[in-house]
């Protein structure tokens, strides 16, 4: 719907990809693990290999959780924009069609957070 | 356990907020300073206003006047809300006793009828001019830049509302509710008021808020307040209409106080740069000439054949005031 | 019927006002919190100038209520004699 | 004299009518459209501004008189509080952190409210609402200043109060309240009245000023309490203005209903989201608690707001749909927010901590359906880790909601174990929101919300480092540089309460007061 304004009202989006110096944003959330209060935002080159995201980037963010050591991301159940999705660890974000500001989530069946509280 | 906290002598970690300390050093700051400086946001705004997409919410570009630091425009009275309302409450208390005295003692009946007619013809329609003053100052308070000037402009706006209401009471005391209708009719239709109304309406649609400040607070007030609440007031007192002077005491005191604040703003802004001086001087000339023209027929009602001389005096005083403020007019 | 309410700062000036409100509105319920007194009433609550004046022994302007008022709920109607809060249905 | 006897003193209503009505006029030398350029663009139709009712009929002289009386009392309390080291009388120095959030997150909004109401007070073509708005504008500058003056004394003794003006424009969580007010002030005058006059003042500020301030009293802070209650006494006028404004729009033209309903839906939700911060202040930051957030919500929002919506039903106004989610959220949001601030305490301007056992028991009793099941295990774990010297600080930036700007911490209405993700696309770009309510707001006005200055994205764009910082230099620590840009002093203003300078100073000063040395 159009904004009702007194004069012409159109402004560029504040967060388009060109403003991130060659990088893009990707969000990643670990479902049923509210220990981390919200999904994370990462700023990465589009040619980042998905495997590198999993092996090098995500551990820094998630390793404070006592269950992280049991997580095998290659067996995680992924969603992209809320839809079931299967990543290929050898492909890059760009090749996998993970665009700027894509939201990814993963579930780790069998791991239910601290004392099963989904924390 | 009883704790006697008063006996504790502790050394503060800091004396004031950092944004105050950056301006004045880390020493105890006044309530005016902490309640004024840098209160308005300046840097980051989320959305452009729907009502003015060309600017951000608080934008220095809404006037042609340029200041390196808008907080140079401080209020010599150092009014923050508390000190402002307490000062006005004291004045309204005095005004209230004056109105009570006039009403309870029936002092209006002692006013010579020709003077009563002048008061009805001039002071009561003037409430609409005051209302314009309220609107213009609320505009500045909304769209001006920097709390140092936008804050006192709101106080000034409310003062104008207060004065409009005192003028209304004068109308009610002198002529009852009908006096207000008569005055409104004069404001809308009497040829003697039309130049004034045209000027007020033209000022109402002025976009540049500093221009508005100059037109309203320096020029318009600088001419009609001395004329009505000083010269005309002298005439009331000299000729047995002290009752009216009693009811306008608030305005006389108020103008003496607030014009000093207006002067401080103009002086600092004009001294900032040659460009500011030129712009402000130009505005003064433009509005002064129109205001003089608008006041001429009203001066005749007030002063009869003395009108020209009185107007001449008022304008001469105004010109010398502007010269002292560093304007070239 | 919905509840209206009014709350005052708990202090000496509010005391006679609260007494007057409770006397004039038998259906009103008093709740005391730290530093605050809240009065709830089904449907309607009326504060009468006269009742307050009886208790303080001087003239009272209902606009003086504002000095110690904390909050209200309901539509307000105020004249020289009464300050009324009500929901219209 | 006979004249005197027959001249009846004018009643309040009559007097007020003379004092305001008729001051304005239909302009003819300039068109009314030009004098009031903002009156029509939002689509609200007003046929007769004289139908406006002014419930509080304050003339300026009465305003000055009563407000000056309030100010005299208030500043007497503040002076006494400062002279007697009143800050040492609070129950527990943890409490002071709630005040930091108040000064950095709320007082600057009072200031924007002042400017916004000055604008509304200029822009409405009716004299009644204009005068009421201007008085409110004046009250709002009062609130900003009295809060600053009350907290000025805390600033002298505690960290985190020191640079509130700088922080409101920059710090990540302060963009939540700031963007709320920016959103309202950038809207037209009628929407502003719904946003602030109605939703914020009528529906929401009671929750901030009444139970929270009563809590401040319970925690021994008479300075703040006096400011809070004294401010709220003005709110009684403001709420009445907000309610009157909404009734007026609805009565003037049936075409106004859908516009007003859309604004009510939007602002009820915007406000509810901002109140998340207040919920956390009540449940976690007041060492002695008067009532839980949930109880406060039930009394001041559900009962009071419910009465209001019942009343507005006769105009066809429906209870905003999003509020059914709020009824579920009331059991969760204070805990979710505190968990967020606890883990991002490294980037905050106040201290956090984990509740004690006794406090957790209170939370279980107040939140029997949720606290033990979802939150106690997490909090106990964090506390144990902290005791082992392993205090959890999250240093990866969170994903934010495009509209409310809160990290995406809220859970699905039907599943409190699952983060709620909502996604929209506009002009080929993806936008994420935390709830149906926020998504709806985005989808209604995408051109507005795509401009949002989202703190996390701005950090990644490199816009949040001190001038002259070189992000390519060796050893560049982005988070440290962001804190410097915020003017948050690492190790002093942020991190856990345990071990903080505030904690040490308070204990030492209290020790001086209770011992003979």
Determine the pLDDT at residue B329.
Answer: 87
Contact D407/A37, CB-based, under 8 Å?
A: yes
d(CA B9, CA B6): 8
The per-residue b/e assignment along D206-225, b for 16 or more CB within 10 angstroms, e otherwise, is bbbbbbbbbbbbbbbbbbbb
Most B CBs within 10 A among D37, D39, D60, D516, hence the mutation to make, goes to D60
DSSP assignment of D317-372 equals: ----TTHHHHHHHTTTHHHHHHHHHHHTGGGSSS-B-PPPHHHHHHHHHH-TTTII
pLDDT at A1 exceeding the cut of 70: no
Contact D408/A39, CB-based, under 8 Å?
A: yes
Q: Which of B50, B52, B54 is the closest to A3 by Cβ?
A: B50
* Other C-beta atoms lying within 10 Å of the C-beta of residue D258: 11
Check if the beta carbon of residue A29 is closer than 8 Å to that of residue D399: yes
Judge whether B44 is closer than 8 Å to chain A, CB to CB. Answer: no
Determine the pLDDT at residue C14.
Answer: 94
Judge whether D239 is closer than 8 Å to chain C, CB to CB. Answer: yes
Which chain A residues are closer than 8 Å to B54 by Cβ?
A: 7
Rg (CA), chain D: 24
Most A CBs within 10 A among B44, B45, B46, B48, hence the mutation to make, goes to B48
Query: Which residue ranges of chain B lie beneath pLDDT 50?
Result: 1-2
- What distances in angstroms separate CA D107 from CA A76, D99, D167, one per listed residue? 46, 10, 12
Q: Which of B31, B47, B166 is the closest to D186 by Cβ?
A: B47
The per-residue b/e assignment along B175-191, b for 16 or more CB within 10 angstroms, e otherwise, is beeebbebbbebbeebe
The answer for D 34-53 residues in CB contact with A (under 8 A) is 37-38, 41-43
d(CA D424, CA D319): 25
Contact D215/C34, CB-based, under 8 Å?
A: yes
Query: How near does any CA of chain D get to the CA of B19, in Å?
Result: 6
C-alpha torsion sign, points B29, B33, B39, B42: negative
Residue of D nearest to A8 (CA): D447
| Residue listed under structure tokens 């729907």 | B50
**Nearest Cα to D409, choosing from D276, D271, D294, D297?**
D276
Q: Say which residues have a Cβ less than 8 Å from residue D70's Cβ, sequence separation at least 6.
A: C66, C67, D230, D233
Contacts by residues B224-229 (CB-CB < 8 Å, ≥ 24 positions apart): B224/B126, B224/B129, B224/B291, B224/B295, B225/B251, B225/B255, B225/B259, B226/B255, B226/B314, B226/B317, B226/B318, B227/B295, B227/B298, B227/B299, B227/B302, B227/B310, B227/B311, B227/B314, B228/B122, B228/B123, B228/B126, B228/B302, B229/B255
Q: Which of C5, C33, C76 is the closest to D55 by Cβ?
A: C76
Q: Say which residues have a Cβ less than 8 Å from residue C30's Cβ, sequence separation at least 6.
A: C18, C22, C37, C38, C39
Residue of B nearest to A13 (CA): B47
Contact D35/B201, CB-based, under 8 Å?
A: yes
Contact D118/B154, CB-based, under 8 Å?
A: yes
Judge whether D13 is closer than 8 Å to chain C, CB to CB. Answer: yes
Which chain A residues are closer than 8 Å to D448 by Cβ?
A: 3
**ipTM of the assembly?**
0.95
- What distances in angstroms separate CA D340 from CA C54, D53, D285, D396, D406, one per listed residue? 55, 45, 14, 12, 10
Q: Which of D70, D217, D232 is the closest to C67 by Cβ?
A: D70
Which chain B residues are closer than 8 Å to D501 by Cβ?
A: 13
- Which residues is A105 bridged to in the sheet? A29, A79
Contact D42/A4, CB-based, under 8 Å?
A: yes
Residue A80, classed as helix, strand or coil, is: strand
d(CA B19, CA D199): 32
Q: Which of D11, D232, D303 is the closest to C70 by Cβ?
A: D232
Query: How near does any CA of chain B get to the CA of D435, in Å?
Result: 20
Contact C9/D66, CB-based, under 8 Å?
A: no
- Work out the burial of residue A56: count CB atoms within 10 Å of its CB; fewer than 13 is exposed, 13-18 middle, 19 or more buried: exposed
Contact D450/A14, CB-based, under 8 Å?
A: yes
- Work out the burial of residue D310: count CB atoms within 10 Å of its CB; fewer than 13 is exposed, 13-18 middle, 19 or more buried: middle
Q: Say which residues have a Cβ less than 8 Å from residue B280's Cβ, sequence separation at least 6.
A: B65, B210, B214, B266, B269, B270, B327
Determine the pLDDT at residue D5.
Answer: 39
Contact D149/B31, CB-based, under 8 Å?
A: yes
Q: Greatest CA separation found in chain D?
A: 94
d(CA D387, CA D381): 10
d(CA D62, CA C63): 8
Judge whether D499 is closer than 8 Å to chain A, CB to CB. Answer: no
* Other C-beta atoms lying within 10 Å of the C-beta of residue A57: 17
**Is chain C in touch with chain A: ≥3 Cβ pairs within 8 A?**
no
Contact C89/D314, CB-based, under 8 Å?
A: yes
Q: Say which residues have a Cβ less than 8 Å from residue B175's Cβ, sequence separation at least 6.
A: B120, B124, B182
pLDDT digits (tens, 9 = 90+) for B216-241: 999 999 999 999 999 999 999 999 99
Across chain A, mean pLDDT equals 96
Contact C79/D11, CB-based, under 8 Å?
A: yes
Determine the pLDDT at residue B3.
Answer: 54
Q: Say which residues have a Cβ less than 8 Å from residue D517's Cβ, sequence separation at least 6.
A: none
Judge whether D470 is closer than 8 Å to chain A, CB to CB. Answer: no
d(CA D166, CA D485): 9
DSSP D86: G
**Nearest Cα to B44, choosing from D200, D461, D426?**
D461
Q: Which of D209, D239, D303 is the closest to C72 by Cβ?
A: D239
* Other C-beta atoms lying within 10 Å of the C-beta of residue D475: 5
Q: Say which residues have a Cβ less than 8 Å from residue D214's Cβ, sequence separation at least 6.
A: C33, C34, C35, C36, D225, D290
Contact A7/B48, CB-based, under 8 Å?
A: no
DSSP B256: H
Judge whether B53 is closer than 8 Å to chain A, CB to CB. Answer: yes
Query: How near does any CA of chain B get to the CA of A14, in Å?
Result: 9
- What distances in angstroms separate CA A63 from CA A67, A71, B257, one per listed residue? 8, 10, 67
Determine the pLDDT at residue D223.
Answer: 87
The helix (run of H) or strand (run of E) holding residue B296 is: helix B274-303
Contact A6/B48, CB-based, under 8 Å?
A: no
**Nearest Cα to D174, choosing from D186, D163, D189, D187?**
D163
Query: How near does any CA of chain C get to the CA of D279, in Å?
Result: 19
pLDDT digits (tens, 9 = 90+) for A53-66: 999 999 999 999 99
Query: How near does any CA of chain D get to the CA of C23, in Å?
Result: 23
Contact A6/B54, CB-based, under 8 Å?
A: no
Chain pair C-D, CB pairs under 8 angstroms: 100
**Nearest Cα to B221, choosing from B188, B191, B266, B187?**
B266
Judge whether D25 is closer than 8 Å to chain B, CB to CB. Answer: yes
Residue of D nearest to C4 (CA): D304
| 10-residue stretch averages of pLDDT, chain D, 517 residues long | 49 87 94 98 96 87 95 94 92 95 96 98 96 96 97 97 97 98 98 93 81 88 88 86 93 98 96 95 93 94 89 94 93 98 98 97 98 98 97 97 98 97 97 98 98 98 93 89 98 97 95 70
**Nearest Cα to B106, choosing from D189, D289, D5, D322?**
D5
């Amino acid at each position: 719907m159009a904004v009702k304004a007194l004069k012409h009202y159109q402004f560029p989006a504040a967060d388009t990809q060109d403003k991130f110096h060659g990088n893009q944003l990707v969000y990643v959330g670990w479902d049923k693990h509210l220990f981390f209060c919200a999904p994370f935002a990462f700023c990465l080159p589009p040619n980042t290999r998905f495997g590198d995201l999993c092996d090098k980037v995500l551990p820094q963010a998630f390793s404070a959780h006592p269950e992280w050591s049991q997580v095998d991301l290659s067996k995680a159940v992924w969603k992209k924009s809320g839809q079931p999705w299967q990543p290929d660890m050898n492909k890059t974000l760009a090749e996998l069609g993970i665009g700027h500001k894509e939201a990814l989530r993963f579930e780790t069946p069998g791991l239910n957070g601290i004392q099963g509280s989904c924390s | 356990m009883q704790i006697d906290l008063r006996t504790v002598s502790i050394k503060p970690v800091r004396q004031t907020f950092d944004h105050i300390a950056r301006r004045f050093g880390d020493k105890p700051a006044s309530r005016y300073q902490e309640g004024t400086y840098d209160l308005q946001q300046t840097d980051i705004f989320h959305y452009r206003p729907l009502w003015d997409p060309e600017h951000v919410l608080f934008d220095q570009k809404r006037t042609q006047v340029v200041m390196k630091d808008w907080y140079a425009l401080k209020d010599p009275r150092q009014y923050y809300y508390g000190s402002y309302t307490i000062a006005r409450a004291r004045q309204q208390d005095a005004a209230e006793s004056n109105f009570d005295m006039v009403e309870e003692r029936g002092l209006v009946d002692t006013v010579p009828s020709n003077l009563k007619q002048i008061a009805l013809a001039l002071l009561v329609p003037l409430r609409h001019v005051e209302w314009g003053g309220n609107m213009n100052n609320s505009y500045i308070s909304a769209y001006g830049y920097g709390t140092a000037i936008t804050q006192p402009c709101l106080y000034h706006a409310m003062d104008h509302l207060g004065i409009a209401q005192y003028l209304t009471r004068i109308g009610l005391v002198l002529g009852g509710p009908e006096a207000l209708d008569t005055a409104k009719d004069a404001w809308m239709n009497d040829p003697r008021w039309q130049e004034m109304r045209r000027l007020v309406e033209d000022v109402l649609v002025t976009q540049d808020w500093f221009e508005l400040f100059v037109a309203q607070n320096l020029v318009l007030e600088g001419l009609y307040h001395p004329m009505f609440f000083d010269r005309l007031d002298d005439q009331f007192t000299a000729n047995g209409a002290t009752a009216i002077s009693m009811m306008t005491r608030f305005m006389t005191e108020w103008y003496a106080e607030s014009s000093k604040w207006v002067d401080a703003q103009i002086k600092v802004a004009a001294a900032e740069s040659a460009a500011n001086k030129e712009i402000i001087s130009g505005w003064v000339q433009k509005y002064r000439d129109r205001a003089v023209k608008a006041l001429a027929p009203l001066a005749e009602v007030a002063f009869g054949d003395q009108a020209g001389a009185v107007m001449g005096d008022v304008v001469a005083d105004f010109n010398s005031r502007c010269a002292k403020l560093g304007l070239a007019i | 019927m919905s509840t209206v309410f009014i709350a005052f700062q708990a202090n000496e000036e509010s005391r006679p006002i609260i007494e007057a409100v409770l006397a004039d509105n038998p259906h009103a319920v008093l709740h005391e919190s730290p530093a605050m007194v809240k009065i709830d009433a089904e449907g309607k609550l009326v504060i009468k100038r006269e009742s307050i004046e009886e208790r303080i022994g001087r003239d009272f302007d209902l606009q003086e209520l504002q000095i110690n008022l904390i909050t209200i709920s309901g539509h307000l109607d105020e004249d020289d004699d009464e300050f009324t809060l009500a929901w219209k249905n | 004299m006979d004249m005197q006897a027959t001249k009846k003193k004018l009643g309040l209503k009559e007097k007020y009518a003379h004092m305001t009505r008729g001051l304005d006029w239909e302009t003819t030398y300039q068109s009314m459209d030009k004098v009031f350029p903002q009156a029509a663009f939002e689509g609200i139709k007003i046929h007769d501004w004289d139908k406006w009712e002014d419930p509080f009929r304050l003339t300026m002289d009465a305003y000055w008189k009563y407000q000056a009386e309030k100010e005299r009392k208030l500043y007497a309390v503040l002076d006494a509080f400062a002279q007697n080291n009143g800050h040492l009388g609070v129950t527990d120095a943890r409490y002071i952190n709630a005040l930091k959030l108040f000064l950095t997150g709320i007082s600057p909004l009072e200031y924007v409210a002042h400017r916004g109401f000055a604008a509304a007070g200029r822009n409405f073509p009716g004299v009644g609402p204009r005068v009421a708005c201007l008085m409110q504008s004046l009250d709002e500058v009062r609130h900003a200043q009295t809060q600053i003056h009350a907290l000025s004394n805390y600033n002298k003794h505690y960290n985190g109060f020191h640079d509130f003006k700088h922080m409101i424009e920059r710090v990540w969580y302060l963009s939540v309240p700031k963007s709320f007010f920016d959103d309202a002030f950038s809207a037209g005058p009628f929407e502003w009245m719904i946003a602030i006059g109605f939703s914020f003042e009528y529906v929401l500020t009671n929750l901030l000023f009444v139970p929270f301030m009563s809590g401040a009293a319970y925690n021994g802070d008479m300075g703040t309490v006096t400011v809070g209650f004294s401010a709220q006494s003005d709110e009684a006028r403001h709420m009445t203005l907000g309610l009157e404004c909404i009734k007026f729009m609805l009565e003037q033209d049936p075409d106004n209903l859908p516009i007003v309903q859309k604004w009510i839906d939007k602002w009820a939700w915007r406000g509810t989201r901002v109140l998340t911060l207040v919920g956390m202040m009540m449940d976690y930051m007041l060492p002695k608690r008067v009532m839980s957030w949930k109880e406060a919500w039930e009394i001041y929002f559900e009962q009071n707001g419910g009465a209001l919506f019942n009343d507005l039903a006769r105009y066809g106004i429906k209870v905003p749909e999003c509020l059914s989610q709020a009824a579920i959220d009331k059991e969760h949001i204070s805990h979710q927010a505190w968990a967020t601030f606890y883990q991002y305490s490294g980037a905050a301007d106040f201290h956090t901590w984990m509740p004690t056992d006794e406090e957790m028991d209170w939370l279980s009793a107040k939140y029997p359906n949720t606290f033990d099941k979802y939150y106690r295990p997490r909090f106990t774990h964090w506390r144990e880790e902290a005791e082992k010297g392993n205090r959890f600080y999250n240093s990866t930036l969170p994903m934010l909601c495009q509209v409310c700007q809160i990290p995406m911490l809220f859970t699905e209405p039907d599943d409190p174990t699952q983060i709620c993700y909502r996604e929209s696309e506009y002009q080929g770009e993806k936008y994420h929101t935390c709830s149906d309510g926020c998504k709806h707001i985005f989808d209604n006005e995408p051109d507005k919300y795509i401009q949002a200055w989202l703190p996390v994205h701005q950090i990644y764009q490199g816009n949040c480092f001190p001038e002259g910082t070189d992000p390519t230099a060796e050893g560049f620590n982005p988070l440290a540089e962001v804190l410097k840009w915020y003017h948050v002093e690492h190790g002093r203003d942020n991190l856990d309460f345990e071990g903080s300078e505030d904690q040490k100073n308070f204990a030492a000063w209290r020790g001086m007061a209770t011992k003979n040395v």
